[in-house]
Amino acid sequence: MNFKIAAYYHFIQIPKELLVVRKQELEAKASELPSLRGLALLAEEGYNVTASGTPEELDSFVTFTNSLLGITNPDIKYSFADFHPFRRFKVDLRKEIITLAGEGEEALIPEDKRFHLSPEEWHKVLTDEDVLLIDTRNDYETKVGKFAGALDPNIRKFTEFPEYLRQADLPKDKKVLIYCTGGVRCEKAILEMHKQGFEEVYQLDGGILRYLERFPEGHFEGECFVFDHRVAVDQHLEPSKRYSLCPHCGDPAEAQITCHYCSGERKICERCRQEHQVDSCSKNCLHHLKRRLSQAA
């Protein structure tokens, strides 16, 4: 079976007293759609959804979500897989759909689209202009793939991005382009950059996923990490054949190993391989290997 995957978000004020009601309504709709799985984040500032299902059922849920929340112009990124990238469907209530502001700070919500570049505009700028290009994603994402020439902040989580900007000594009068997976992180990163004095900053509308729809052989190199069991998608938005999820930490893994405990074949990430100093295919096997090594000592 071929499953359709949708990734979409929208910044819209949802009254706090309605959040639980909206959660229940989304869960009720999902219960009517047997194939639907994924994760929906709801907060007072809006929603962020990645879901999968049969094409008919997924389209039904996407239409319901946007109708429920009054969105008439949803920006949705689609892809496909021959397996379910999620185990179940879940709705989470959050303080923010993406966290960047420090505690007590007002959420950074964009007012319009004036700082967004379409994939076509983005591609032309990267081809023709000298710009400062910054990846706003986490280090385990950038290792899988990024735009050619992009600066990698080498951050472990998005909340470290403001401090990276403060410490990096980047030119604030140069044209800057920033990007992320689907666009939602850049909605806040771009305003943080304006707050820190960067004069001309633009984000990639729809993120890497939208760019790869239009330019599969363009300026993006490698694969794009996604937060589900596909691990990443290639430049044609097909599920990765190169990476698996590391059984120890959940990061992208490509080091093929034979487990020293059960002899099973598995891919683990290089960081865990170096840290544990013994090849193991699961946390359980690692536990038994450590016990065996300690007893031998």
Q: Which of 253, 261, 297 is nearest to 278 (CA)?
A: 261
**Given phi > 0 = left and psi -120 to 50 = alpha, else beta, which region is 7?**
beta
Q: Is 281 annotated in the active site?
A: no
The letter for the amino acid at 58 is: L
The pair of structure tokens assigned to 181 is 């997976």
Residue whose tokens read 């993120």: 207
H helical segments located in the chain: 19-31, 55-68, 119-128, 139-142, 161-168, 184-195, 207-214, 270-276, 283-296
Give dist(CA 22, CA 44) in Å, integer. Answer: 11
Q: Which of 180, 186, 224, 269 is catalytic?
A: 180
Please say whether the beta carbons of 279 and 260 come within 8 A.
yes
Residue 59 backbone dihedrals phi, psi, to 5 degrees? -60, -40
Q: Which of 155, 116, 150 is nearest to 138 (CA)?
A: 155
Q: Which of 217, 215, 211, 237 is nearest to 225 (CA)?
A: 237
Residue 152 backbone dihedrals phi, psi, to 5 degrees? -105, 110
The pair of structure tokens assigned to 5 is 């995957």
Which positions are catalytic?
180
